[in-house]
């Protein structure tokens, strides 16, 4: 079973509380999501391998640790996942960015892929799927399905707010995927919105409500 890591850092929780506030406008919402994404990236990369290299300081020569060159890929789920990309890139500027676009078929209610462009070496990269709201888990499961079909082997999921239903669904369908979130809220309402949540993340990011 994949791990579920709730990033309970005071800065993350403070910023998330401001994002939840209905009076927070798109400019602040975007900036806060970027900042939280950067802070979460610090935690999600905790297990990256390092290697010793030799460096000469102004005083002495020594051996010190650097990242061992593991390749990272970020895959935001369109559209709200885009709001997390820049924050993560600030910490991992060498990461490549793929995109997955999904819509829900109005009749079958199943997610349908309408766009997918991934780095060609997706099978060699540790992939971090980005989507702020892990609600039913339908989009996250479908995006991870598509990534695995295209060869991705190491995948983590980074969300801001999750519902217990979404966490369970990803764990059931993709037991190898660790999930990182800033909060697990109470439940989903009848429209599959997370309660208390923060509303529609895409609309709040881009002012389209």
- Catalytically annotated residue among 20, 96, 104, 173: 104
Q: Rounded to 5 degrees, what are φ and ψ at 18?
A: -65, -40
| 5 DSSP β-pair partners | 180
Nearer to ligand URA, 109 or 153 (CB): 109
Nearer to ligand URA, 75 or 135 (CB): 135
Quick check: is 104 catalytic?
A: yes
Helices (H) and strands (E) in the chain, counts: 6, 15
Q: How far is the CB of 119 from ligand URA (least distance, A)?
A: 26
In the chain, which ranges are continuous DSSP H helix? 10-20, 26-44, 82-91, 138-149, 164-173, 201-206
Q: How far is the CB of 102 from ligand URA (least distance, A)?
A: 12
Q: Which of 35, 38, 65 is nearest to 50 (CA)?
A: 65
Q: How far is the CB of 188 from ligand URA (least distance, A)?
A: 7
Nearer to ligand URA, 124 or 165 (CB): 165
| Interface ranges with ligand URA (CB under 6 A) | 80, 133, 135, 193-194, 197, 200-202
Nearer to ligand URA, 92 or 167 (CB): 167
User: Is 139 labelled a binding residue?
Assistant: yes
| 184 DSSP β-pair partners | 162
Quick check: is 105 catalytic?
A: no
Answer whether 172's CB lies under 8 Å from 145's CB.
no
Q: Round to whole Å and give the CA distance between 1 and 23.
A: 38
Q: Rounded to 5 degrees, what are φ and ψ at 140?
A: -65, -45
Q: How far is the CB of 57 from ligand URA (least distance, A)?
A: 48
Q: Round to whole Å and give the CA distance between 17 and 33.
A: 11
Quick check: is 20 catalytic?
A: no
Quick check: is 45 catalytic?
A: no
CA 173 to chain centre: 17
User: Is 133 labelled a binding residue?
Assistant: yes
User: Is 200 labelled a binding residue?
Assistant: yes
Active-site residue numbers? 104, 108, 200, 203
Question: Which residue numbers belong to the known binding site for uracil?
Answer: 194, 199-201
Question: Which residue numbers belong to the known binding site for 5-phospho-alpha-D-ribose 1-diphosphate?
Answer: 79, 104, 131-139, 200
Question: Which residue numbers belong to the known binding site?
Answer: 79, 104, 131-139, 194, 199-201
């Amino acid at each position: 079973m994949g791990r579920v890591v709730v990033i309970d850092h005071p800065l993350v929780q403070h910023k998330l509380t401001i994002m939840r506030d209905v009076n927070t406008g798109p400019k602040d919402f975007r900036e806060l999501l970027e900042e939280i994404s950067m802070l979460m990236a610090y935690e999600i990369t905790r297990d990256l391998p390092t290697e010793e290299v030799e460096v000469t300081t102004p005083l002495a020569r020594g051996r010190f640790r650097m990242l061992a060159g593991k390749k990272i890929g970020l895959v935001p789920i369109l559209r709200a996942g885009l709001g997390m990309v820049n924050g993560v890139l600030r910490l991992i500027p060498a990461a490549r960015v793929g995109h997955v676009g999904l819509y829900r078929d109005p009749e079958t209610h199943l997610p349908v892929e309408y766009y997918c462009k991934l780095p060609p070496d997706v099978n060699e990269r540790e992939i971090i799927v980005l989507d702020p709201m892990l609600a039913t888990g339908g989009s996250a499961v479908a995006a991870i399905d598509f990534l695995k079909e295209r060869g991705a082997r190491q995948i983590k999921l980074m969300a801001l707010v999750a519902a217990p239903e979404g966490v369970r669904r990803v764990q059931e369908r993709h037991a190898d995927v660790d999930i990182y979130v800033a909060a697990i809220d109470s439940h989903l309402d009848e429209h599959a919105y997370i309660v208390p949540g923060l509303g529609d993340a895409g609309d709040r990011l881009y002012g389209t409500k």
